[in-house]
Structure 1
Amino acid sequence: MRHLSSIRSGPKAARRALLSVSALLLCLATAATTATAAPGGATADAEGTVSAAAAQVQVPADVTAGVAVYDRQTGTFTDQLNASMRFRSASVVKLLLVLDFLWNRGPDYTIPAADRALLEPMLRSSDDDAASHYWEVNGGPAIVTRMVRELVLSDTAGPPAGYEGYWGYTAVSARDTVKIYRYILEQAPAPVREFIMSNLRQSTRCASDSFDQHFGIPGAFDRPWAVKQGWSGDYEAGTCGPGNTKKTEPSSASKSTGPKAAGSRAAEPVNLSRPALHTTGTVGAGDRTIVAVLTLHPIGTGYGKAYTDIGRLTRSLDVPGATRPTGKWYGTWGTRVGVRDAATTASGVRTRLPAGAEVLISCQKQGETVSVPPYTNNWWAYLPQYGGYMSNIYVSSPDDKLPDVPVCVS
């Protein structure tokens, strides 16, 4: 999610005309609904900013968040917090990369097989090499300039001077993210809309860089949902999947959207040093509600902690049409804790958890006794969102058998 390369080729010839008027109308419609009543009687201002207390948005300590939740059925925002604040986009910018590629390709918007082989993993598994390819061949920051113009975005801008090769340093806000999704859902040609949304609905748990990308929206709500996630920072190696992990290189100027060494540049308008984690997409039947949650975490925060914090924040939101999964949320401890096919260490590993991540437990059963001195435990927790079992020895609870979790019936 953090890789990119320096630009090696110039922009293609201008090919923009179709639908720019409709995008302008969409922007005006979005602006007209921004000054809406927030939960608890508070009113959001024209910038889409209300207090976290008024909006009931639960922001964990030391986390900076920009939030916008838009109900397409009523045409109103149900939650907003710092909605115009600019964050580095990380892989959320991939929505603009695919829109730029598809713009005016009509009339049937046919996607060549070679491009489909890049675009599908870029959207589903956040493949960074694919993003770097389109950033290079389509003009880098010029892509952002075109999309800002065509979608009439208010806060989005290309990477700061000196970082033109860093697609993940594109600036974006929560309210602009809502505009991007509204364009895709309400104004884009049907083939464009179907291609993008169908791939976002097939988001893989394990991203191409071995990070578990089903935090935020996928963790807080049952399907249907469609998501494009983003992360950027000096996180530890990803652990997602049964086998290998992958460590990105956050100090590499040619490959990473992670921060450069401290003090290497003056302060930028968009924070480039704090670890970022973003969850964006739609929730509910008919893509009813658009959710954009952009977050920054204290320097040194591990991926599991950031994963947990954005999950708690997202679960606090008012999301019309959403169905929340049943079960109890528990913290975990340990590194590379396996989620297995059955309640035994001999069974296959489905994935490994981010260190310290909070998980949803729906039931528990007795199985193989696991020993991690000085502890032993033969109870196993079933994690419905992973479809597997984890030894209760790794659950942050003093009880071997969790007191508020039922026994699995099978």
Structure 2
Amino acid sequence: MAAGPASAVTSSVDLPEGMTASYLVVDQQTGKTFGADEHKQYRSASLVKLFIALDYLESHGPDYEIPAGDLALLEPMLRSSNDDAASTLWVRDGWEEIVKRMVVKIGLTDTAPPASRGKWGYTAISAADIAKTYQYIQHDANPKYRDFIMGNLAKSTKCGSDGFDQSFGIPSAVPGEKAVKQGWSGFGAAPAPGEECTQTDARVLRMLSSPEVKAATAVASSGEGTVSAQDDIDLTSRAMHTSGTVGADNDKIVVVLTLEPTTLSWRDSAGRITKLTRDIYSEFAS
């Protein structure tokens, strides 16, 4: 359902020490919003996979039957945040041109391609633009695209393909039905000992071993492990983002973007963003 008359509420939620955060909650039925610093730019981490998936669908058209090989990329990319799948589609479909097309198509104001075209995880985003992306997917995109993307996000797995536990934020903090896309950056290529999430689908990993995937991952990646400058976007702090919709009709959009000190572990960062998301949603609902 499209949003009714807008009613903006200024946030009063306190942040944990050392955390930078921006967020936006939108009730698409009433138009009520609740946010803070929602136009601040962050590196996207895996939230850019929303653009990659939508661009793929838009470029092929609603009558296109997605072949099994491409489903083997799109589904784990959306459900389990698979980086190899994202790199493959990123290279195949035009690198930074994907972001440029989505900026125009959706009307994004804070989103920009990465300075280094191979590092798709360094795409600039904001909470406002990610919320607008969900609105576009649900209300403006072809219903087939909406059903495909939101249906896969509703099947988000507890474990990411890289072994990180991606149940932080919305999945753990907000009750009810959810469709989520998570993002993280700066925690390394694999979890620290004792923090591994072990429900990885080996079948999916085997399907992502084609020559195309291997060639793409040699030239494109999330940017994990690299340090470089990109305008005013912080690429050094640890980033952890949670985004998605809540409710049987996907009527509420929740986007929480955070940066944390490099001294914090995955578990500590996950606990902090989960509590923050819970506080934000509770304040919004009150």
TM range (shorter): 0.7 to 0.9
Equivalent AA in structure 2 for residue 165 of structure 1: G
Separation in 1, partners of 2:219, 2:139: 38
Cα separation, partners in 2 of 1:321 and 1:199, compared to 1, 3 Å:
farther
**Aligned in 2, Cα 1:321/1:283: closer, same or farther, shift over 3 Å?**
farther
For 1:76, the aligned partner's letter is: K
Structure 1 residue 164, shift from structure 2 partner = 1.3
Deviation at 1:75, TM superposition (A): 1.4
Distance 2:221 2:98 in 1: 19
1:275 corresponds to which letter in structure 2? R
Give SS of 2:159's match. coil
Q: Which of 73, 92, 115 is matched with 1:118 structurally?
A: 73
Q: Tell me the residue number matched to 1:199.
A: 152
Of 310-319 and 174-183, deviating more is 310-319
CA distance in 1, matches of 2:283, 2:68: 37
Residues 184 and 242 (structure 1), Cα distance of their counterparts in 2 relative to 1, 3 Å cut:
closer
Q: What's the offset of the Cα at 1:76?
A: 2.1
* Contact 2:108/2:132 (8 A) holds in 1: yes
- TM score, norm. by length of structure 2: 0.85
Matches of 2:178 and 2:39, distance apart in 1: 24
CA distance, structure 2, for counterparts of residue 284 and residue 319 of structure 1: 14
Identity of aligned residues (%): 46
Answer yes or no: is 1:75 the counterpart of 2:31.
Answer: yes
In the alignment, does 2:241 pair up with 1:278? Answer: yes
- Provide, for residues 189-219 of structure 1, a one-character-per-residue CA deviation record: whole Å limited to 9, x for no partner: 1111000011000000011001100100000
Query: CA–CA distance in 1 between the matches of 2:225 and 2:231?
Result: 12
Q: Corresponding residue for 2:168?
A: 215
CA distance in 2, matches of 1:124, 1:66: 24
Alpha-carbon offset, residue 110 of structure 1: 2.1
User: How has the CA–CA distance of structure 1 residues 267 and 225 changed in structure 2, closer, same or farther, with 3 Å as cutoff?
Assistant: closer
SS in 2 for 1:316: helix
Residue 12 of structure 1 is matched in structure 2 by none
> Equivalents in 1 of 2:200, 2:64: separation in Å?
38
Deviation at 1:109, TM superposition (A): 3.8
Q: Against the structure 1 CA distance between its residues 83 and 166, is the aligned structure 2 distance closer, same or farther, given a 3 Å change threshold?
A: same
In 2: Cα distance, 1:297 partner to 1:95 partner = 23
Output one character per residue of 1:129-172: Cα deviation in whole Å (capped at 9) or x when no partner: 00000110111111100100111101000002xx2100000000
Change (3 A) 1:270 1:253: farther
Q: Work out whether 1:62 is the aligned partner of 2:18.
A: yes
Conserved 8 A contact 1:289-1:319: no
Does residue 260 of structure 1 match 2:226?
yes
Aligned to 2:109: 154
Query: Residue 262 of structure 2 aligns to a residue in which SS?
Result: coil
Change (3 A) 1:242 1:177: closer
Answer yes or no: is 1:228 the counterpart of 2:228: no
Any residues of structure 2 matched to 1:3-152 within 5 Å, and which? 33=6, 36-38=7-9, 50=10, 55-77=11-33, 79-152=34-107
Deviation at 1:112, TM superposition (A): 1.4
Q: For the residues of structure 1 that align with 2:122 and 2:267, how far apart are their CA atoms? A: 23
Match of 2:119 among 132, 157, 166: 166
The SS at the match of 1:279 is strand
Give the partner amino acid of 2:243: T
Number of the residue aligned with 1:293:
256
Structure 1 residue 242, shift from structure 2 partner: 6.4
CA distance 1:304–1:191, change in 2 (3 Å): same
Give the TM-score taking structure 1 as reference length.
0.60
Higher relative contact order (CA 8 A, sep 6+): 2
* TM-fit CA distance, 1:255: 4.3
- Report what 2:214 is aligned to: none
Contact 1:71–1:320 (Cα < 8 Å) also in 2: no
Question: Corresponding residue for 1:175?
Answer: 128
Q: Which runs of 5+ in 2 are unaligned?
A: 202-217
Q: Is the 8 A contact 1:109 1:191 kept in 2?
A: no
Q: Which has the larger radius of gyration?
A: 1
Letter matched to residue 181 of structure 1: Y
SS of 2:269's partner is: helix
2:277 is matched with: 314
> Residue 173 of structure 2 contacts residue 278 of structure 2 at CA under 8 Å; is this kept in 1?
yes
Contact 2:43-2:122 within 8 A present in 1 as well = yes
Q: How big is each residue's C-alpha offset from its partner over 1:339-379, in whole Å with a ceiling of 9 and x where there is no partner? A: xxxxxxxxxxxxxxxxxxxxxxxxxxxxxxxxxxxxxxxxx
1:226–1:281: 8 Å Cα contact kept in structure 2?
Answer: yes
Name the SS for the 2:197 alignment partner.
coil
| TM superposition shift of 1:301 | 1.6
Runs of 5+ consecutive residues of structure 1 not aligned to the other structure: 1-25, 39-49, 245-251, 323-410
